[in-house]
Amino acid sequence: MRIIDHHIAGGFNHAATRHGDVFDPNSGQIQARVSLGGQSVLDAAVAAAQKAQPAWAATNPQRRARVMFNFKALIEKHMDELAHMLSAEHGKVIADSKGDIQRGLEVIEFCCGIPHVLKGEYTQGAGPGIDVYSMRQPLGIGAGITPFNFPAMIPMWMFGVAIAVGNAFIIKPSERDPSVPVRLAELMLEAGAPAGILQVVHGDKEMVDAILDHPDISAVSFVGSSDIAHYVYQRGVAAGKRVQAMGGAKNHGIVMPDADLDQVVNDLSGAAFGSAGERCMALPVVVPVGAKTAEALRAKMIPAMAALRVGISTDNDAHYGPVVNAAHKTRVEGWIQTGVDEGAELVIDGRGFKLQGHEEGFFIGPTLFDHVTTTMQSYKEEIFGPVLQIVRAETFEEALALPSAHQYGNGVAIFTRNGHAAREFAARVNVGMVGINVPIPVPVAYHSFGGWKRSAFGDTNQHGMEGVRFWTKTKTITARWPDGGIGDGANAFVIPTMG
């Protein structure tokens, strides 16, 4: 049985007293075992990071950028290898896996310009003979705790910026699909980063707590469920760390009466069911405005869902593959039953889906609910599977209120031809990322990703300039070069003013 070990100080660390199972979601069989570490493994990684980071921080930004250029080229060279590795453990189809990698790679492309974004501010003559300037310096050692649903993209969102600005970085990936982050660490070494700058430690809650408590880790970035995000934020901040913790979501798609319904249905098919719905930016709730819009949308959605092909991850014709493991399959099917018990109309039931030749795989067919209400627990919580819920609204104001009042505030979309309605919606909706005729509004790499409310804890978003600010600290220097000595008498003890 293949063992996936920790990647520390440029090589594999085999120290493990516990192991976790890594499944093939297509067959339901165990394909590997991952080492589960704790404090001693983390201490080894931190020691290697401490050894490597000072020299890396002292490396000029242009040379660090060249490592990022090399890493980008290596990711592109190994794209097929990485995509198949990702699909084999996660279950998403190859096209989705390549998209996962590509969106992470776009942040690496942003990091290739790190010398420019690290330039500080300068004021000449702020006072008599006084200049003031600032510089951004790395924090030291950062850590990322990443989820199973994007094992390439989210680690690159985190470590790309953190390493480019001069930090060392330790990833704790999901133990469900840990191979891709290890391969990324190998490729970062090949790109020219010193051993100890990017390392991977595996584990469960024991490792998470060790990271949050370690006094030599300065900052932690997390993506996962909201309850755990809140826990990570509170414990990390209590330990004196800088923390950004991204949580769950329940993204809504508002469909105005003037929307192009054919385009909406096409967008919903991908946004609700792509990657088996295992995306924090999926679109699991659609809100048609008006009964006529709702009936027309439903009538078009049913045949579109019937045309979706569920297949193994290597099936090039499949629209989506299995969910990640048996426990998650059970969880999603449990939420479908909850929706039925709560009185929602189950229009299409994806439970019991079996793929010929892969009957033990973790597959769920596309599922559609109608007449879902805001009082239902299945509406309030994140299902994280191939389930689309229709929540009907009578007016624009009612539709606007739904995502605004929801506990999550990650993403939202509006479909309309009316510029005023779109502008009004974007300005007023209480959600962090908004799409206008864009179903999955994940910002490009040089902007920043982050939700509101229980979708994010901490006040700094991921990647872009927000990421640069999160992974650096600002130092401000006030300098005076007098003609003579350094001053004497009482004036030497007075704080200089800029008057």
Per-residue pLDDT tens over the stretch 448-465: 999 999 999 998 999 999
Q: Mean pLDDT, to the nearest integer, of 347-356?
A: 96
- Residue range 252-436 forms a domain whose CATH class is alpha beta
| Ranges of each domain in the chain | 2-247+455-477, 252-436
* Position 497 pLDDT exceeds 70: no
Q: Phi/psi class of residue 489: alpha, beta or left (left: φ > 0; alpha: ψ in -120 to 50)?
A: left
Q: What is the sign of the dihedral through the CA atoms of 5, 241, 213 and 324? A: negative
Confidence of residue 149 (pLDDT cuts 50, 70, 90): very high
Per-residue pLDDT tens over the stretch 259-290: 999 999 999 999 999 999 999 999 999 999 99
* Position 485 pLDDT exceeds 60: no
Residues near 231 by Cβ (< 8 Å), separated by ≥ 6?
none
* Position 486 pLDDT exceeds 60: no
What's the CA gap between 446 and 456, in Å, rounded? 19
* Position 354 pLDDT exceeds 90: yes
* Position 298 pLDDT exceeds 80: yes
Confidence of residue 498 (pLDDT cuts 50, 70, 90): low
Q: What is the sign of the dihedral through the CA atoms of 281, 282, 285 and 290? A: positive
- So what's the pLDDT on residue 328? 97
Sheet bearing 219-223, strands edge to edge: 11-13, 6-8, 198-200, 168-172, 141-145, 219-223, 242-246, 456-457
pTM of this structure: 0.94
- So what's the pLDDT on residue 496? 63
* Position 202 pLDDT exceeds 80: yes
Backbone φ and ψ for 219, nearest 5 degrees, come out as -150, 150
Alpha helices for 93-146 (secondary structure H): 94-111, 114-117
Q: Mean pLDDT, to the nearest integer, of 69-95?
A: 98
Q: Mean pLDDT, to the nearest integer, of 388-402?
A: 98
Q: Mean pLDDT, to the nearest integer, of 466-474?
A: 97
What residues form DSSP beta bridges with 219?
142, 242
What is the pairing mode between strands 408-409 and 452-453? antiparallel
Confidence of residue 14 (pLDDT cuts 50, 70, 90): confident
Give percent of the chain above pLDDT 90: 94
Residues near 140 by Cβ (< 8 Å), separated by ≥ 6?
53, 167, 168, 216, 218
- So what's the pLDDT on residue 15? 78
Q: Give burial (CB, 10 Å; 0-12/13-18/19+) of 496.
A: middle
- So what's the pLDDT on residue 493? 62
Structural fold of domain 2-247+455-477: Aldehyde Dehydrogenase; Chain A, domain 1 (3.40.605)
- So what's the pLDDT on residue 489? 54
- So what's the pLDDT on residue 491? 60
- Catalytic (active-site) positions: 280
Per-residue pLDDT tens over the stretch 406-462: 999 999 999 999 999 999 999 999 999 999 999 999 999 999 999 999 999 998 999
Summary mean pLDDT of the chain: 96
- So what's the pLDDT on residue 490? 55
* Position 488 pLDDT exceeds 70: no
